[in-house]
Amino acid sequence: MSVFSHPEFDGHEQVAFHHDADSGLRAIIAVHNTKLGCGLGGCRMWPYSSDDEALTDVLRLSRGMTYKAALAGLPQGGGKSVILGDPRHDKTPAMITAMGRFVDQFGGKYVVAEDSGTNVADIRLMAEVTRHVGGLADARSVAEGRTGDPSPATAMGTFIGIQAAVRAALGRDDLKGLKVAIQGVGNVGYRLASHLHAAGAKLWVTDLHGPAVDRASKEFGATAVPMDEVHALDVDVFAPCALGAILNDRSVPQLKAKIVAGAANNQLAKKRHGHALLEKGVLYAPDYVINAGGIIDIFYEGPDYDAAKVHAHLERIGTTLTEIFARSKATQRPTGEIADAMAEEIFRR
Ligand code: NAD
């Protein structure tokens, strides 16, 4: 297993491997770029089938965080960590504490937050041995009803992004009667459905989990649709809020929506699907731009949390997308490529 010649290595500043014999922790931290600030990113725990798969993930994800933070206008870089193991069977408090000590060795160059396989309680445990943690609500936040869960801000940012996409593709400012299909009504998708419903949109929803669909149908009058049909509905907007690689060889030709704008990470199966969407005349809101609400919220979390300030920052997701859409239209290049180039302009400046 090589690092410097690894296909996902992209000039990462630091990559460290750690084994803690007492707890059995095996983890990797990758810091991609800290030109704008410390590398913030979640700690993912996953039963990787090989060390190389874990390294691939942490290199790719940490790089993604640099791009995301830059376009979100945050003074932050990109980092990420992975723990090799099954969170349901292998995770122990001793392992999480050992992970906290590993994070601490970076002296603030890497700041850890939750990701799949870890949760706020794990980050709290890490916070006992390192102060380099993000996204933890303090006592005042909890009293005001915030838990440190970034989903509400992600949903609001996605809603703002959909408004910008509707303006660019359909030339309208209001969402009354807009038809939106949402794939996945979990933490983000459910809240997005709530905002869209309040704005007068008509909703179609699907989810692996039946009760999630029932809740959206009951509360927002959403029509339930089969999982394998949601992307092909005759709607204005398709909002992927479940899994990655949903925009692929099978789904793109079947799309009828004029806009794809949702919170899911890594929506394009391959880069070429960005080109396919452009050729088809579908406006795609790059995932890491529209779903940046969570890291924006984490940035502001702390004793001086100011909801109005956070909302104003979330509004900038709309402004950034509007610029991406305009540059894409002017150059006929896919929106994802435009977003990458804009992010690079910022963090390589
Ligand atoms: P979640 O697990 O709460 O919700 C995802 C929902 O999708 C679940 O209800 C699940 O049952 C459903 N689902 C899974 N596979 C499906 C399928 N094939 N078809 C239909 N539904 C399916 O996760 P979340 O926090 O709401 O995140 C949703 C997406 O947004 C993920 O891709 C996540 O990486 C991304 N994202 C989330 C945040 C955040 O703040 N939570 C931030 C950035 C990006």
Cross-strand pairs, 260 = 238, 284
Q: Which residues line ligand 1 (CB under 6 A)?
A: 150-151, 154, 183-184, 186-189, 206-209, 212, 227, 241-243, 263-265, 291, 294
> Exposure string (b/e) for 227-251, b if CB count within 10 Å is 16 or more?
eeebbbbebbbbbbbbeeebbeeeb
Tell me the two tokens of residue 261.
Answer: 């704008």
Which residue's CA lies nearest to atom 4 of ligand 1? Answer: 186
Of 35, 68, 80, 271, the active-site residue reads 80
Report which ligand 1 atom has the smallest distance to the Cα of 262.
30
Q: Which of 230, 243, 250, 289 to mutate to test the pocket of ligand 1 (most atoms within 8 A of CB)?
A: 243
β-strand partners of 181: 204, 238
Are 161 and 290 in contact, with CB atoms under 8 Å apart? yes
With contact defined as beta carbons under 8 Å apart, do 246 and 254 qualify? Answer: no
> Residue 190 belongs to what H/E stretch?
helix 187-198
Instruction: Supply the residue whose CA is at minimum distance from atom 30 of ligand 1.
Output: 264
What are the structure tokens assigned to 275, written together? 């080109």
80 carries an active-site annotation: yes
Distance 2 CA to ligand 1 centre (A): 32
Per-residue pLDDT tens digits for 150-196? 899 999 999 999 999 999 999 999 999 999 999 999 999 999 999 99
Q: Contact 170/201 with Cβ under 8 angstroms?
A: no
Specify the residue with its C-alpha closest to ligand 1, atom 21: 207
CA of 302 to the centre of ligand 1 (A): 26
CA of 217 to the centre of ligand 1 (A): 18
CB atoms near residue 144 (< 10 Å): 10
Tell me the CA–centroid distance for residue 276 and ligand 1, in Å: 24
Low-confidence ranges of the chain (pLDDT < 70): none
Structure tokens at 97: 């504490």
For β-strands 202-206 and 223-224, DSSP reports them as: parallel
Beta-strand (E) ranges in 50-118?
Answer: 77-84, 110-114
Residue 33 pairs with which residues in a beta bridge? 78
Please tell me the predicted confidence (pLDDT) of residue 269: 93
pLDDT score, position 132: 96
Which residues in the chain belong to E strands, given as ranges? Answer: 14-20, 25-33, 39-46, 77-84, 110-114, 179-183, 202-206, 223-224, 237-240, 259-260, 283-284
Q: Is residue 160 within 8 Å of 317, Cβ to Cβ?
A: yes
pLDDT computed for residue 342 by the predictor: 98
Mutation probe of ligand 1 site: the residue of 44, 67, 207 with most atoms within 8 A of C-beta: 207
